[in-house]
Amino acid sequence: MEPPPSHGRLITLEGGDGAGKSTQANLLAARLERAGNQVVATREPGGTPLGQELRRLLVTPGDDPPVARAELLLYLADRAQHVARVIGPALARGAWVVCDRFTDSTLAYQGAGRGLDEAQVVGLSGFATGDLSPDLTLWLALDPAEAARRRADRGLADRLEQEGIAFQSRLATCFARLAAKEPERWRTVAAEGDVATVAARVWAAVADRFPEVAG
């Protein structure tokens, strides 16, 4: 028998608002668990008690919205806490960690979206995570207009989701560029179609990257 991995695996889900990340992250975590794995499902921002506070500050439209640099640092504070308290310890005990958004969201939203310098965002992100990089990143790629329809069905938009289609298109261009730069780490998953169809694509991508998980 194979010895258990001494170090777990970090899978992140990325994509624009309404692409189906949260839906698919939950389904993937459940499926990995059914396959007999130790799984931690978590999200950003808000994966720790401190992160919950930061999430509230980030998503609630207020009178004094954070400027782009402040927004970046709030996300990175959330991530630093999350890596130190949740993700790092889970990986150390050999768990699979499924994380709804991670560093690539920061590159897309605060870099491409808000126009902050990408090299600076990369450097600060590395500081926040101790250079932790996912083993697999799934990009749920969905036409921004379709994503907007899904968000409308869901109800009220939060502060970042209120950005328009042009903003969402910049995010998509950025995710495509990041994925092309690191093809080993990234898998692009077509996010159109019903939930079960997309879940099957997600599982195929995970099994492609980690053949051992498919049994």
Ligand X SMILES: Nc1ncnc2c1ncn2[C@@H]1O[C@H](COP(=O)(O)OP(=O)(O)O)[C@@H](O)[C@H]1O
Establish if 22 lies at the interface with Mg ion (CB under 5 A).
yes
Of the ranges 19-27, 53-61, 77-85, 121-129, which one interacts with ligand X (CB under 6 A)? 19-27
Report how far residue 122's alpha carbon sits from residue 104's, in angstroms, rounded to the nearest whole number: 9
**Distance from C-alpha of 134 to C-alpha of 118, rounded to nearest angstrom:** 19
Residue 98 binds to ligand X (criterion: CB under 6 A): no
Confirm or reject binding of residue 23 to ligand X (CB under 6 A): yes
Q: Of the candidates 9, 21, 170, 209, which one interacts with ligand X according to CB under 6 A?
A: 21
Question: What gap in Å lies between CA 139 and CA 191, rounded to an integer?
Answer: 9
Task: Write out the binding residues for ligand X, residues 44-83 only, by CB under 6 A.
Answer: none
Asked whether position 153 contacts ligand X by CB under 6 A, the answer is yes
135 contacts 12 by C-beta, under 8 angstroms: no
Query: Does residue 38 bind Mg ion (CB under 5 A)?
Result: no
Please select the residue that binds ligand X; options are 63, 131, 194, 212, rule is CB under 6 A: 194
> What's the closest the beta carbon of residue 101 comes to Mg ion, in angstroms?
8
Rounded least distance, CB 23 to ligand X, Å = 3
Closest approach, Cβ 32 to ligand X, in A, equals 17
Give the shortest CB-22-to-ligand X separation in angstroms.
3
**Site for ligand X (CB under 6 A): which residue of 18, 45, 47, 144?**
18
Instruction: Give the interface with ligand X as residue ranges (CB under 6 A).
Output: 15, 17-23, 150, 153-154, 193-195, 198
